[in-house]
């Protein structure tokens, strides 16, 4: 058995892949399939990436939905050092929102909760 988080976008999966490639130094693109024709031509039919050891699927949904991402589901990243945490916060937070600014909240040395410009939630932690 293998579980993989899946992120569904509305025509922004390509841009999200570029952001995650920029943000994560250990980014690895495992698969990228694009729609070749039709109204979704050039959009991501399916992509699989690996960041921080976690495999994630991304795709652009053909139908338009009345929902998007929610901060109640997020990816929790434990950073190696403060510089890494601050860099990730800067890159992922650009154009997004900061739910909890970088600070010591008692449960870790530094922590921040970011929603990127696509609505995907990231909790960045330094023990």
Of 85, 99, 90, 93, nearest to 117 by C-alpha is 93
Could you please state the CATH topology (level 3) that the domain comprising 74-126 is classified under. 3.30.720
Enumerate the CATH 3.30.720.100 domain ranges in the chain, comma separated: 6-60
Report pLDDT for 49: 99
**pTM more than 0.85:** yes
pLDDT tens, residue by residue, 31-86 = 999 999 998 999 999 999 999 999 999 999 988 899 999 999 999 999 999 999 99
Q: Which CATH code is given to the segment(s) 6-60?
A: 3.30.720.100
Percent of the chain with pLDDT over 90: 94
Report pLDDT for 64: 87
Report pLDDT for 62: 87
């Amino acid at each position: 058995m293998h579980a993989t988080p899946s992120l569904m976008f509305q025509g922004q999966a390509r841009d999200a892949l570029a952001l995650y490639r920029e943000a994560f130094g250990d980014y690895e693109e495992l698969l990228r399939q694009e729609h070749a024709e039709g109204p979704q031509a050039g959009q991501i039919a399916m992509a699989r990436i690996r960041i921080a050891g976690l495999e994630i699927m991304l795709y652009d949904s053909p139908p338009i939905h009345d929902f998007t991402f929610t901060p109640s589901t997020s990816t929790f990243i434990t950073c190696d050092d403060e510089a890494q945490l601050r860099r990730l916060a800067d890159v992922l937070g650009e154009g997004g929102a900061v739910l909890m600014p970088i600070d010591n909240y008692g449960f870790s040395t530094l922590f921040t909760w970011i929603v990127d410009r696509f609505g995907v939630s990231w909790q960045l932690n330094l023990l």
